[in-house]
Structure 1
Amino acid sequence: MLRSLTPTQPLPSLHRLYSMTQHQRFTTALLHPRYWLTWSGLGLLWLLVQLPYPLIAIIGRGAGRTSRRFLARREQIARRNIALCFPQLSAQKREELISENFASLGMALLETGMAWFWSEKRLRRWFSVDGLQNLADAQHNNRGVLVIGVHFMSLELGGRIMGICKPMMAVYRRHNSPLLEWAQTKGRMRSNKGMIDRRHLKEMVNVLKQGEAVWFAPDQDYGPKGSCFAPFFAVPNAATTNGTYVLSRLSHAAMLTITMVRKTGNKGYQLVIEPELLDYPASDEVAAATWMNKIIEREIMRAPEQYLWVHRRFKTRPGGSASLYI
């Protein structure tokens, strides 16, 4: 698919690309009884996020810590990931990190409700931005910008807040539930331009060439296809997507990181936009993956307790290697 993309190929209109997600229309099929439980959950989530934010934070953190009793497998994954990435931490420090990570997991659910249901006016009361000029500088002369993100627990809310500051495109994976796909699309489109399926690299390149900012998160294990192995924290061979490498070579877009973390003391959120990333090793995919993983590590260390450690980051292993999760 990517080989067919040439510099002389006409670019599709942004209107057609946005229509991939912008027109996820509500249909009466979503009122079928099979979705009633999901509707009830969405209604409860809407009610909860009408509470004052400090109370939302208390409920979210408490629910997250309680969830450890029912998410034993996810706790094991988080424990293993943290042990692999931070072997220097004491047992006590690891336990504290896991506890805070599950508190963050509980917050993530309510932050999803905030992202989908809060007004822009209410959201603006609870976040600050550092480095917005860096994004403007990177987009100078209508240059496309590949925004490098990481999977913090507050990711859904971070996307909404990024859109308030500067509407952009985002790469995502469609939800298996049609109702939740409709709900998340409606919520995300409140402040952004559109979303692109993560499998559609050609569309990502096209919109970057048209000067758009596109959010892309290369920090997860997407399997062996389209990946190479590079160091990540203390793990020498972590499967790392080559998506960033391909997008950079085909679009010649600028690259920078945007990260949102929670402030301490239930004081809201801080969105950090770093200056354009320079000296990207675009001639070698392994060197590029190694370089990018260092950037991702830097962003994670802003608030490691808020990162998605419950994902099996190291599930793909070099040929013949034993699983790290046994």
Structure 2
Amino acid sequence: MIKIAFDLLARLPLPLLHGLGTLLGWAVYGLSPSYRLKIEQHARIAFPQDELARIRAIRGSVSHAGMALFELPFLWGRPTMHGAAACTQIKNWEVIEQAQAQGKGVIFLTPHMGSFESTAQVFSTRAPITVLYRPNRKAEIQHIIEASRARNNVALAPTTLAGVKILLKALKRGEAVGMLPDQVPAEGEGVWANMFGQPAYTMTLPGRLQQATGAAIVLAIGVRKPNGEGFILELYPGPERLSADPVQAAGEVNQAMESLIMKHPEQYYWGYERYKPPKSNPRGQL
């Protein structure tokens, strides 16, 4: 049933999908007090004094969260060249070329904002990339994820030890790997580091991969254009060298994510459980 609905939605134009997504985003915001509280709490952490900026960020985030869900059939249900790549501009590709010139691979980092699902697809039209992902417990959804995300020049690596080995091999081949470093890791796979001044359990994987390979770090955002016109893949140089100390390195990654988020705060998913702690380690819980 999910697959049928997914295939039907994939035939719709992106402006219509974004319009439907906006309606869904506001419906969820209006009907879910817990979601509404969470998004307002998180935005207040980033904008403690600037109420106007906080309101703009919340309003944009509500709409963009819905768009993210409804654009998945467009991104996953179409070939890359007829979906994401057909409506995406690339800004600052020279950042990738400079990183590739070092010959040690590229660690491609993007936060939960904008069309993060489109970034790897667009990148793959020019070079191979291996993407870290968290497997879904529901078999039908997991099948859709694997069938949709894995495509020409895009390989998948699960958030397991085997997945880390896949990432290392890709970097040692001089290729790119991609991940969302603001994704809350499993217990034992992260450290506490501030994000917008609030302790957040943060993955150590970017630092470990760079220490092991010397790979360059590139920051990316899949910015949505207005009116469903498509996307802009914005690329920026990341930290040249993360600290060997895991906590300090995690803080450096979080600072890089903050800088990206503040470029387009209305497209960040402030309702994402960024400050959620591991079950047995409640430090930093809101």
Q: TM-score range by the shorter chain?
A: 0.7 to 0.9
Q: Which amino acid aligns with 2:59?
A: S
**Structure-2 residue corresponding to 1:296:** 257
Deviation track 1:214-259 (CA, whole Å, cap 9, x = no partner) reads 0022113225412222221132x22221111211111221211122
Deviation track 1:287-312 (CA, whole Å, cap 9, x = no partner) reads 21221111110111121122222222
> Offset of 1:195 from its aligned partner?
0.5
| 8 Å CA contact retained: 2:114, 2:222 | no
Percent identity reads: 24
State the SS of the aligned residue for 1:246.
Answer: helix
TM-score (norm 2): 0.88
Using a 3 Å threshold, how does the CA distance of structure 1 residues 122 and 153 change in structure 2: closer, same or farther? closer
State the SS of the aligned residue for 2:131.
Answer: strand
TM-score (norm 1): 0.78
Instruction: Please list every run of 5 or more consecutive structure 1 residues that lacks an aligned counterpart in the other structure.
Output: 1-35
One of 239, 251, 258 as aligned partner of 2:213: 251
One of 195, 209, 233 as aligned partner of 1:271: 233
| 8 Å CA contact retained: 2:277, 2:283 | no
State the SS of the aligned residue for 2:157.
Answer: strand
**Structure-2 residue corresponding to 1:143:** 104
Deviation track 1:55-95 (CA, whole Å, cap 9, x = no partner) reads 333222122212223333222221111122221132x5434
Q: Give the alignment of 1:210-229 within 5 angstroms.
A: 210-229=173-192
Q: Which amino acid aligns with 1:210?
A: R
| 8 Å CA contact retained: 1:138, 1:254 | yes
The separation in 2 between residues aligned to 1:310 and 1:191, in whole angstroms, is 32
Q: Which amino acid aligns with 1:292?
A: V
Q: Give the alignment of 1:4-153 within 5 angstroms.
A: 36=1, 38-47=2-11, 50-51=12-13, 53-90=14-51, 93-119=53-79, 120-140=81-101, 142-153=103-114
The separation in 1 between residues aligned to 2:76 and 2:41, in whole angstroms, is 32
| 8 Å CA contact retained: 1:112, 1:157 | no
| 8 Å CA contact retained: 1:223, 1:316 | no
Measured on the aligned residues, the alpha-carbon RMSD in Å equals 2.4
The separation in 2 between residues aligned to 1:146 and 1:123, in whole angstroms, is 21
Using a 3 Å threshold, how does the CA distance of structure 1 residues 157 and 111 change in structure 2: closer, same or farther? farther
Q: Which amino acid aligns with 1:104?
A: H
The separation in 2 between residues aligned to 1:276 and 1:241, in whole angstroms, is 16
**Structure-2 residue corresponding to 1:20:** none
Instruction: Please list every run of 5 or more consecutive structure 2 residues that lacks an aligned counterpart in the other structure.
Output: none
Q: Which amino acid aligns with 1:97?
A: A
> Offset of 1:114 from its aligned partner?
1.1
Using a 3 Å threshold, how does the CA distance of structure 1 residues 122 and 218 change in structure 2: closer, same or farther? closer
One of 119, 125, 129 as aligned partner of 1:168: 129
> Offset of 1:265 from its aligned partner?
4.5
The separation in 1 between residues aligned to 2:236 and 2:5, in whole angstroms, is 37
The separation in 2 between residues aligned to 1:192 and 1:309, in whole angstroms, is 31
Greater radius of gyration (CA): 1
> Offset of 1:322 from its aligned partner?
6.9
| 8 Å CA contact retained: 1:159, 1:188 | no
Using a 3 Å threshold, how does the CA distance of structure 1 residues 320 and 158 change in structure 2: closer, same or farther? closer
Deviation track 1:170-208 (CA, whole Å, cap 9, x = no partner) reads 000112222222222222223433110122323322221
One of 162, 184, 194 as aligned partner of 2:155: 194
The separation in 2 between residues aligned to 1:136 and 1:57, in whole angstroms, is 32
Q: Which amino acid aligns with 2:236?
A: E
The separation in 2 between residues aligned to 1:94 and 1:68, in whole angstroms, is 16
Using a 3 Å threshold, how does the CA distance of structure 1 residues 276 and 233 change in structure 2: closer, same or farther? closer
The separation in 2 between residues aligned to 1:321 and 1:141, in whole angstroms, is 39
Deviation track 1:40-65 (CA, whole Å, cap 9, x = no partner) reads 43244234xx23x3333322212221
